[in-house]
Amino acid sequence: MKIRRILPIVRKEFLQIWRDKRSFTVLLLFPGILIFVIGYALNFDVKHISMAVFDRDKSSTSRGFIRNFSNTEYFDINYVVNDYSSIDELLNRGDARVALIIPEDFSGAILAGKETSVQVLVDGSNANTATTAIAYIQVIIQTYSTNLVMNVLKRAGREFYMPIDLRPKIWYNPELSTAKFLIPGLIGFILMISAVISTSLSVVREKERGTMEQMMVSSLTTLEIIIGKTVSYLIIALAASAFVLIVGFLAFDIAIRGSILWLYVGIMIFLIGGLGQGLLISTITNTQQVAFLVSVFSSLLPTFLLSGFVFPIRSMPLFLQVLTNITPAKFFLVVVRSEILKGTGPSAYWDQLIYMAIFSAIMIGFSAVRLLKKAK
Amino acid sequence: MRQIYHIIIKEFLHLRRDRKMLAISILAPVIQLILLGYAATTDVKDIPMLVLDQDKSSVSREFINLFVNSGYFVLTQQVNSPDKIDQYIEDGEVWIALVIPSDFSANMLAGRQTIVQLIADGSDANSANIGIGYASQIIATYSRSLMRTIETQTRGRLTFAHVNPEVRVWYNPELKSRNFMVPGVLALVLMIITMTLTSLGIVKEKEIGTLEQLMVTPIKSYQLIIGKLLPFVIIAAVDILLVITVAYWWFGIPLRGSFFLLLGLSGLFVLTTLGLGLFVSTVSKTQQQAMMTAQFFFFMPFIFFSGFTFPIENMPQVIQYITYAIPLRYYIVIVRGLFLKGVGIAELWTQAAALLAFGVVILTLSVLRFKKKLS
């Protein structure tokens, strides 16, 4: 094995990628586009919930009550209606997500110091948004009630405070930005695309065209060919991940809080596993179409669905929670989130590194065995 | 007519011989729907919580119990000193830490305000947001109950007005995210399978060279297109029935609207996906190119901008306008409306009209392009 002989293979590989414009776009531009889209357009924030109000009281008290909703950034009062059927229609059409109905005797009850109820209808179809909206509503209304009590007590000459002042402190991602939450997962996703899919496709393509055989009969050893091919995609994957980190830093202010060194240790271990997986797929498939499908189903989909990238693992049914352990991206995500968002050292995730290393060793081992068998 | 018939027979023969393809077109949607249906939940429950109780009184324990009994939080750790909190949150073992000060019970009894600290791990922004929401709700209720005690103490002299929120959740009263996700996944799976099959089926003949052979026969190009597309329409119809059945029987997602309306509007959507499949086949030389094009230029943007997981209302205004150009957007509103809300054509006609317009325009343009490429 000589470096001098591996280099031309690496060069050849880069030339091929450069010439195939569509693959080039997908490999290098796609990560950049994806990160911008995710950073700017996609978020789970629950703000500006469209609200309809049916004020049957129409008093200054009820208007004051409604103002407690419109003064927040959480609710936008887009519709003021005068009957129940309009509320039905607005909710059915999805134009309003929340409807507030104030009873006729609202101001009367408040002034008389009696208890009253307001009705809140919530479109529950998006459970996520609805849960957060309900929490906001409860807090707004409870605060209103507490203020009423305090006013009465003050007039009676007694002091009263909100008994508990909750001070939430959010660590690592204080503005709760979705981009910060998604970008670590995105790195894993992009690494999987360039490692598993590109590696398997590039090897199988040479098989399909018969150029693999040509290389085999050259003086190059199998090991040299394989190293040459994997090194190319290793470089691309590392470049893509660096690209994502730089864009994340410049555009979305996502700084690496931990050490870049340890982050790249994690990335390398993960990548080696991915390259091994790509090689393994290339040894068991003969056409690019099948290689592509197998890669997507064994790497891309689990990385997207089961790693905790978007969907929290804790909320999945138990059998799926167990199944999540087959995807190394799950462990990779812990490492990346720790290093980028939390700034904790390897003591927080050494076990995850070991899982990843085991996975990588198995993948490299299997593909090496298959390759050597084929070479004979 | 007879010529079209022959092409259809030919297509079905291909399908029957290519068992793998047939299996993919029938089994893949079902498996995808089941897997995604289970995995794609954004529910946040059983949030692992740490408690640092510096007061250790019956009052503080009662307060902690409110969190445990709410069902949202699971008390997994109890520590005695603040410096241990960091460790647990850093390791990701707990997502939320509740810190009760040592003067908690004293303040409560004296009617003074107490500061309670809540530390949340924001790295999962969505879960943190919901967790804090639950916590503020619990504390608001607790404050209310304390006020009631004052009320009873001063009964007769002071009366307090109070507003009770009477929250009613429509359409999805248990707030299960699966009820929201599965109809969306159904739309997604239908799109992926019909588009992939159409584009691959046509590009395959291009690759093998049999498309050229067909063109030199006396068959007219419109007959060829109809003959080639009809089998995919039939497969799409089977797939529609299959995914609706799985959503309804397997996941128990109630279908509150009309079944036939769902079928009809799904048909409208398939016009678009067949058209796009045909279009992809005209810009691709190999099956791999076709898959890449479909994946990166259609599936990904469609998934992101259709409101499937990320609510459109939360996107910047400019992007919101762009989403109107995504046909999947309308179909997802239709599917969710029919499954969850039980609405009818009166509420859905704008979406249906948009789908029809997209379908006709895209299909016509693709057919024209395909014809041009043929000749």
Size of interface A-B (CB pairs under 8 A): 323
Selected residue with higher pLDDT from B277 and B288: B277
Whether A169 is in a domain gets the answer no
Last residue of a domain, one of A155, A185, A202: A155
Let me know: does B177 contact A125? Beta carbons within 8 Å: no
Contacts of A134 in chain B (CB under 8 A): 133, 137, 167, 169
Q: Total domain count for chain A?
A: 2
pLDDT tens digit sequence for B200-235: 888 888 877 777 777 777 777 778 888 888 888 888
**What is the C-alpha to C-alpha distance for residues B52 and B64, in angstroms, rounded to an integer?**
10
Q: Identify whether residues A89 and A207 lie together within a single domain.
A: no
Q: Identify whether residues A192 and A249 lie together within a single domain.
A: yes
Return the structure tokens found at A269.
Answer: 């271990």
State the smallest CA–CA distance between residue A343 and chain B in angstroms.
Answer: 9
**What is the C-alpha to C-alpha distance for residues B289 and B203, in angstroms, rounded to an integer?**
9
3-class state of residue A257 by DSSP: coil
Closest CA to A234 of A8, A13, A4: A13
Q: What are the 10-residue block averages of pLDDT along chain A, 376 residues in total?
A: 78 80 70 76 78 93 92 91 91 89 90 86 85 86 83 73 71 74 81 81 81 76 80 85 85 84 92 91 81 80 82 81 89 88 82 92 89 71
Q: Identify whether residues A149 and A254 lie together within a single domain.
A: no
Give the pLDDT confidence score for residue A31 in this predicted structure. 75
Q: Identify whether residues A33 and A95 lie together within a single domain.
A: no
Q: Identify whether residues A323 and A305 lie together within a single domain.
A: yes
Q: What is the mean pLDDT of residues B237-249?
A: 87
B199 at the A interface (CB within 8 A)?
no
| SS3 of B130-179 | HHHHHHHHHHHHHHHHHHHHHHHHCCCCCCCCEEEEEEEEECCCCCCHHH
Return the structure tokens found at B235.
Answer: 């497969």
Closest CA to A279 of A356, A376, A375, A366: A366
Give the pLDDT confidence score for residue B352 in this predicted structure. 95
Q: Identify whether residues A101 and A229 lie together within a single domain.
A: no
Phi then psi for residue A342, to 5 deg, are -95, -30
- Phi-psi category of residue A302: left, alpha or beta, with phi > 0 → left and psi -120 to 50 → alpha: alpha
Give the pLDDT confidence score for residue A376 in this predicted structure. 60
Angle at B46 between CA A94 and CA B58, to 5 degrees: 120
Closest CA to B197 of B7, B12, B21: B21
Would you place residue B356 in the very low, low, confident or very high pLDDT band (cuts 50, 70, 90)? very high
**What is the C-alpha to C-alpha distance for residues A153 and A107, in angstroms, rounded to an integer?**
19
Closest CA to B296 of A335, A56, A29, A265: A29
Give the amino acid at A303: T
Give the pLDDT confidence score for residue B349 in this predicted structure. 92
State the smallest CA–CA distance between residue A301 and chain B in angstroms.
Answer: 10
| SS3 of A270-331 | HHHHHHHHHHHHHHHCCCHHHHHHHHHHHHHHHHHHCCCCCCCHHHCCHHHHHHHHHCHHHH
Whether A135 is in a domain gets the answer yes
Cα radius of gyration rounded to whole Å, chain A: 29
Give the pLDDT confidence score for residue A130 in this predicted structure. 86
Selected residue with higher pLDDT from A245 and B11: A245
Q: Which residue on chain A is closest to B306 by alpha carbon?
A: A42
Interface of A with B in 53-72 (CB under 8 A): 65
Q: Which residue pairs, CB below 8 angstroms and at least 24 apart, start in A102-106?
A: A102/A53, A102/A54, A102/A55, A102/A56, A102/A57, A102/A62, A102/A65, A102/A66, A103/A56, A103/A57, A104/A56, A104/A57, A105/A57, A106/A56, A106/A57, A106/A59, A106/A61, A106/A62, A106/A65
Give the amino acid at A20: D
State the smallest CA–CA distance between residue A374 and chain B in angstroms.
Answer: 25
Indicate whether B269 pLDDT > 90: yes
Helices B345-374 and A84-93, axial angle in degrees (round to 10): 20
Nearest beta carbon to residue A128 from set B146, B177, B341: B177
Whether A160 is in a domain gets the answer no
Q: Which residue on chain B is closest to A303 by alpha carbon?
A: B39
A149 at the B interface (CB within 8 A)?
yes
Q: How many CB atoms lie within 10 A of CB A321?
A: 13
**What is the C-alpha to C-alpha distance for residues B260 and B244, in angstroms, rounded to an integer?**
11
- Phi-psi category of residue B209: left, alpha or beta, with phi > 0 → left and psi -120 to 50 → alpha: left
Give the amino acid at B112: R
Give the pLDDT confidence score for residue A354 in this predicted structure. 92
Contacts of B157 in chain A (CB under 8 A): 156
Whether A161 is in a domain gets the answer no
Give the pLDDT confidence score for residue A86 in this predicted structure. 92
Give the pLDDT confidence score for residue A81 in this predicted structure. 94
- The separation between CA A254 and the C-alpha centre of its own chain, rounded to angstroms, equals 14
Q: What is the dihedral of CA B267, B272, B278, B281, to 10 degrees?
A: -120
Return the structure tokens found at A348.
Answer: 């927080």
pLDDT tens digit sequence for B49-66: 999 999 999 989 988 999
Q: How far, in Å, are A16, A24, B40, B170 from residue A314 at the CA level? A: 43, 37, 12, 26
Interface of A with B in 305-324 (CB under 8 A): 305-306, 308, 310-312, 314-317, 320
Q: How far, in Å, are A19, A48, A251, B115, B323 from residue B40 at the CA level? A: 38, 25, 29, 37, 22
Q: Does the distance separating the beta carbons of A117 and B164 come in below 8 Å?
A: yes
How would DSSP label each residue in A162-202? -SEEEEEEEES-TT--HHHHHHHHHHHHHHHIIIIIHHHHH
* Pairing status of strand B162-170 against strand B114-121: unpaired
Fold of B47-153: abc type-2 transporter like fold (3.40.1710)
Q: What's chain A's length in residues?
A: 376
A86 at the B interface (CB within 8 A)?
no
Q: What's chain B's length in residues?
A: 375
pLDDT tens digit sequence for B97-122: 999 999 888 888 777 788 888 888 88
Q: Does the distance separating the beta carbons of A337 and B165 come in below 8 Å?
A: no
* Tokens 């290793």 found at: A234
Q: Identify whether residues A130 and A24 lie together within a single domain.
A: no
Would you place residue B254 in the very low, low, confident or very high pLDDT band (cuts 50, 70, 90)? confident
Q: In the sheet where B162-170 sits, what is the strand order?
A: A75-81, A49-55, A98-102, A115-123, B162-170
State the smallest CA–CA distance between residue A70 and chain B in angstroms.
Answer: 17
Q: Identify whether residues A299 and A316 lie together within a single domain.
A: yes
| Residues forming CATH 3.40.1710.10 domain(s) in chain B | 47-153
B19 at the A interface (CB within 8 A)?
no
Give the pLDDT confidence score for residue B173 in this predicted structure. 80
Q: Please measure the distance between the N-terminal and C-terminal CA atoms of chain B and give it in whole angstroms.
A: 21
ipTM for the predicted complex comes to: 0.76
**What is the C-alpha to C-alpha distance for residues A234 and A231, in angstroms, rounded to an integer?**
5
Closest CA to B284 of B209, B366, B198, B206: B206
* Tokens 């390791």 found at: B91
pTM of the model: 0.80
Q: Does the distance separating the beta carbons of B142 and A153 come in below 8 Å?
A: no
Q: Identify whether residues A121 and A218 lie together within a single domain.
A: no
Interface of B with A in 251-280 (CB under 8 A): none
Give the pLDDT confidence score for residue A67 in this predicted structure. 93
Nearest beta carbon to residue B126 from set A44, A138, A163: A44
Contacts of A177 in chain B (CB under 8 A): 125
Give the pLDDT confidence score for residue A375 in this predicted structure. 63
Q: Identify whether residues A150 and A222 lie together within a single domain.
A: no
Give the pLDDT confidence score for residue A263 in this predicted structure. 92
Q: Name the residue range of residue A111's domain.
A: 49-155
